[in-house]
Chains A and B, each alone.
Chain A
Amino acid sequence: QQQVKQSPQSLIVQKGGISIINCAYENTAFDYFPWYQQFPGKGPALLIAIRPDVSEKKEGRFTISFNKSAKQFSLHIMDSQPGDSATYFCAASKTGSARQLTFGSGTQLTVLP
């Protein structure tokens, strides 16, 4: 059972554009939602994370929007740059097992110069 569904599988954006990646979860016990960024040949690295007590969190050009009632959250990358080209994974976990992350399937983002 896939508990975190991620879309799209791939995304191509022009430099300066907005990249949007969406995730939906099923388990209402999840209470921590991070996004990880992975470059080729590297391991995933934490980009930004949110807890369900807020609807939005912004760090620089990266914003997470969270909709608890819809059980959805999304990553917005503003002013996308070629250096943002990577695979992005959403994930979720629950209190008591917060580091046992359930990952989405990943989105391969390509930002064209």
Chain B
Amino acid sequence: DSGVTQTPKHLITATGQRVTLRCSPRSGDLSVYWYQQSLDQGLQFLIQYYNGEERAKGNILERFSAQQFPDLHSELNLSSLELGDSALYFCASSVAGGANTGELFFGEGSRLTVL
């Protein structure tokens, strides 16, 4: 158990809809990362938040947005969903401060299916 909690584990929705994925990082971790894992694109970095502020953006579509709340949990919002958005969405967190080891702790993911 990595200590990172993601909900829901599975989600099925229709094209055009909007969904919200939730992540609770490990206790004490200030950074949250979102990754998308699909068969054709592998693991793609979407966005990073650190202590409530956006730190870095990767290959995140404009239809997607995220935020990190004062209690450090994060939400990834996916709107105007398309079939191609079907994927596993992982949240990861990292140690706050200290030496930069680079280790990310991943949750078990939220599997999104768009029909």
> What residues of chain B lie closer than 8 Å to A49, measured between beta carbons?
101-103
Residue-wise interface mask of B (85-102) relative to A, using a CB-CB cutoff of 8 A (1 in contact, 0 not): 000001010100000111
> In the complex, are the beta carbons of A104 and B42 less than 8 A apart?
yes
> In the complex, are the beta carbons of A44 and B48 less than 8 A apart?
no
> In the complex, are the beta carbons of A99 and B33 less than 8 A apart?
yes
> In the complex, are the beta carbons of A89 and B102 less than 8 A apart?
no
User: Which of B31, B42, B100, B107 lies in contact with A103, CB distance below 8 A?
Assistant: B42
- Interface residues in B, total, Cβ within 8 A: 24
> In the complex, are the beta carbons of A46 and B108 less than 8 A apart?
no
Where chain B touches its partner, the secondary structure class is strand
> In the complex, are the beta carbons of A97 and B109 less than 8 A apart?
no
Size bracket, chain A contacts: 20 to 34
- How far, in Å, is A59 (CB) from chain B's closest CB? 14
> What residues of chain B lie closer than 8 Å to A44, measured between beta carbons?
43, 90, 104, 106
Interface status of A72 (Cβ within 8 A of chain B): no
Given contacts A42-B108, A43-B92, contact A102 B45 (CB under 8 A): yes
> What residues of chain B lie closer than 8 Å to A36, measured between beta carbons?
106
List 29 A-B residue pairs with CB atoms under 8 Å apart, sorted by A's residue number. Answer: A32-B102, A34-B102, A36-B106, A42-B108, A43-B4, A43-B90, A43-B106, A43-B107, A44-B90, A44-B104, A45-B2, A45-B106, A46-B103, A49-B103, A95-B100, A98-B100, A98-B102, A99-B31, A99-B33, A99-B48, A99-B94, A99-B100, A99-B103, A99-B104, A100-B45, A100-B58, A101-B104, A103-B42, A104-B42
